[in-house]
Amino acid sequence: MSDNGVIFKATKDGLIIIMNKELEFDEIYNEINKKLISAGNFFKGASLGVKYRGRKLSEEEIKIICELMTQKTETTISSFEEETNNLGFNTDIKEENTIKENGFIKYDMRKETYSNDIKSILHSREEEGITKFYRGTVRSGQLISYDGNIVILGDVNPGAEIQAGGNIIVMGWLRGTVHAGMYGNDKAIVASLSLQPVQLRIANIITRPPDEQKYESPSVPEIAFVKDNMIFIESFLPQK
């Protein structure tokens, strides 16, 4: 994942600290300290819900880390607990529907009619965070930006821009430019009843429709998501 012993992962609910289980607590402490310094004012004034995983922490250790964080970043720690589900990770969830065959993991199509990828997206979202609802047509030159998710009850016209820290759902035509997971969350998705964006971005990945004039996107609701650093688009209705 990374050669660092500690990884910070921002979610809409707060922060996840992923620790390398090989490291001693002292080393963990130093890594967290370094990370907090490099984050600068990013967390300043925020109230953070912190979850950790990768390693067990004692009450004492939790207390030490909490103190360090409050002191270094001027944040309030609203909670600090071990992460129990694998929120933000979808790899494990597929397991229940997969069977191992000759050493290969194979998806069991009989159990679900959703594709592997969409299923994992749908299943990995138990806590989604705050959402902004916008009713009406978003027209050219309008920008809707929100740290959480955005739901548009209307169309998004060419020249309009939607930016969300989380997911973007358009209950209408999507013909503008959208950026989901704008702070780097590549688990974010974009879904629309008709997905025909000028440009679609998830996290740091940018895609646009092909140049061929004859290209026409199918008139079914679709979902865009990131897999292997590429944006994939699929129908999100169960496949027949």
Chain residues binding other proteins by CB under 8 A are 140-143, 158-159, 161, 177, 198-199, 206, 208-209, 211, 213
Nearest-angstrom CA–CA distance, 216 and 239 = 20
Residue among 62 and 198 whose Cβ is closer to other proteins: 198
Nearer CB in complex with other proteins: 26/211: 211
Cβ proximity to other proteins, 87 vs 188, nearer residue: 188
Q: Measured from the CB atom, is 184 or 238 closer to other proteins?
A: 184
Helices 59-73 and 25-39: crossing angle, nearest 10°? 20
Q: Which residues pair with 194 in a beta bridge?
A: 173
Give the chain's length: 240
Residue 129 CB, nearest distance to other proteins (Å)? 24
Give the pair of three-digit tokens for residue 220.
């079914």
Token pair 């994992």 is found at: 120
Question: Please, what is the minimum distance in Å from the beta carbon of residue 139 to other proteins?
Answer: 11
Element (H, E) at 232: strand 230-235
Q: What is the CA radius of gyration of the chain?
A: 20
Rounded alpha-carbon distances, angstroms, from residue 26 to 9, 101, 158:
21, 43, 53
The structure tokens 């609701």 sit at: 221
Residue 141 beta carbon to other proteins: minimum distance, rounded to whole angstroms: 5
* Burial (CB count within 10 angstroms: exposed 0-12, middle 13-18, buried 19+), residue 154: middle
CB 218, min distance to other proteins, A: 18
Q: Which is nearer to other proteins, 183 or 239 (CB)?
A: 183
Q: Residue 146 CB, nearest distance to other proteins (Å)?
A: 14
Give first-to-last CA distance, the chain, whole Å.
Answer: 37
Q: With contact defined as beta carbons under 8 Å apart, do 239 and 221 qualify? A: no
SS3 228: coil
Compute the least distance from the CB of residue 206 to other proteins, in Å.
Answer: 6
By C-beta, is 44 or 208 nearer to other proteins? 208
Nearer to other proteins, 104 or 215 (CB): 215
